[in-house]
Amino acid sequence: MTTKFTSDHEWVRMEADGTATVGITAHAQDALGDVVFVELPATGRSYAQKDTAGVVESVKAAADVFMPIAGEVVAVNDALVADPSLANSDPQGAGWFFRVRPSDSAQFDALLDQAAYDRLLGDA
């Protein structure tokens, strides 16, 4: 499974079944502080790349979650809605936000790999 990143601090992991799991990066959750609320997209809804697909709120700020690749949302993480702190404790595991069936695999390929994301963070 390959994980890529966006400059908006979302991560995207391609799964074996062809779906992509999306969440916020450790850097994003660290910058936000304690996450207290998440709003996730509706299952079955299609989004274009860079559309706002959700919201994450913390004790410090609120931020939009952007769709890193175009596609249809096929699942959301109900456990995250019930316990938003999962975004802090396990941002790239149990704290995932939603899964999408991509409509354009080239968009995934164009995202940042780990080295490029690390360089982005180094420049921040």
Q: pLDDT tens-digit profile of 43-59?
A: 999 999 999 999 999 99
Of all residues in the chain, the percent with pLDDT exceeding 90 is: 96
Domain spanning 3-112: CATH 3.30.70.890: no
The token pair at 93 is: 């595991």
**Is the confidence at residue 118, as pLDDT, over 90?**
yes
pTM as predicted: 0.94
Backbone angles phi, psi at 76, to 5 degrees: -125, 160
On average, the pLDDT of the chain sits at 95
The domain limits of the chain are: 3-112
Q: pLDDT tens-digit profile of 96-117?
A: 999 999 999 899 999 999 999 9
**Is the confidence at residue 94, as pLDDT, over 70?**
yes
pLDDT at position 124, please? 56
Q: Return the number of other C-beta atoms located less than 10 Å from residue 111's C-beta.
A: 20
Residues 6+ apart with CB under 8 A from 13: 1, 2, 3, 4, 20, 21, 92
pLDDT at position 74, please? 98
DSSP, residue by residue, 11-65: EEEE-TTS-EEEEE-HHHHHHH-SEEEEE-PPTT-EE-TT-EEEEEEESS-EEEE
Residues 6+ apart with CB under 8 A from 35: 29, 56, 57, 58, 84, 85, 87, 88
